[in-house]
Amino acid sequence: MKRLILVFLACVVASSMLVAQEKTETKKEAKKEMSGSHVMTGWLVDQMCGKKMGNGDAEKSNAKAAKHTKDCAMEESCAESGYGLVHDGKWHKFDEAGDKMAADWLGKTDMKNNLMVNVKGTMDGDNIKVESITPASENKMEKKEGKTMEKKTKS
Ligand SMILES: [Cu+2]
């Protein structure tokens, strides 16, 4: 009888351990999804200026980030500090690859300020491991072009 009780107890302990394990697994899965590759939309700013903008007040920091100019971002001291994204009132620094992509894009774009971009990448703490940077206005522009083309073919 004593032995039976022991076996029973062992089973209870084992099954409760299984449940606990399953719980941590689901937690891990959820975290994985959060940290997976995704797109964040915000303003591309150099670290020197951007760090000050990420003050937690989304409205204020977004307004400041939208006013920040490309010329400022490309100024030597600003460019050297690296780049990042102001998103929802927070500053997110890019990794080295992201810095390069940002510098390349800034060199090519005609935009002067309001540098709103879609950044695809994964979060590394508050920082972003960047996979791609595209202007957020690109989609709208494509739509406009599509419409004008449509009109032309109709008339
Ligand atoms: Cu700047």
Let me know whether 89 and 136 are in one domain.
Answer: yes
Question: Which runs of consecutive H residues, i.e. helices, occur in 36-95?
Answer: 47-53, 58-67, 70-74, 76-80
Per-residue confidence at 33, pLDDT binned at 50, 70, 90? very low
Let me know whether 90 and 134 are in one domain.
Answer: yes
DSSP state of 112: -
pLDDT one-digit tens code per residue, 47-70: 999 999 987 789 999 999 999 999
Hey, CA dihedral for 71, 103, 50, 58, is it positive or negative?
positive
Let me know whether 25 and 67 are in one domain.
Answer: no
Ligand 1 centroid from CA 125, angstroms: 23
Mean pLDDT on 3-32? 55
* Alpha carbons 5 and 155: distance in angstroms, whole number: 88
User: Is the distance from CB of 119 to CB of 85 less than 8 angstroms?
Assistant: yes
155 within a domain of the structure (yes/no):
no
Ligand 1 centroid from CA 83, angstroms: 9
150 within a domain of the structure (yes/no):
no
Per-residue confidence at 134, pLDDT binned at 50, 70, 90? very high
Mean pLDDT on 63-81? 97
Mean pLDDT on 100-110? 97
Q: Which residues surround ligand 1, an ion (CB under 5 A)?
A: 46, 49, 72, 78
Mean pLDDT on 30-46? 80
Ligand 1 centroid from CA 65, angstroms: 9
Ligand 1 centroid from CA 78, angstroms: 5
* Alpha carbons 109 and 115: distance in angstroms, whole number: 9
Per-residue confidence at 14, pLDDT binned at 50, 70, 90? low
Q: Is the pLDDT of residue 35 over 70?
A: no
Q: Which residue has the higher pLDDT, 20 or 129?
A: 129
- Structural domain harbouring 31: 1-35
Let me know whether 92 and 55 are in one domain.
Answer: yes
Let me know whether 20 and 74 are in one domain.
Answer: no
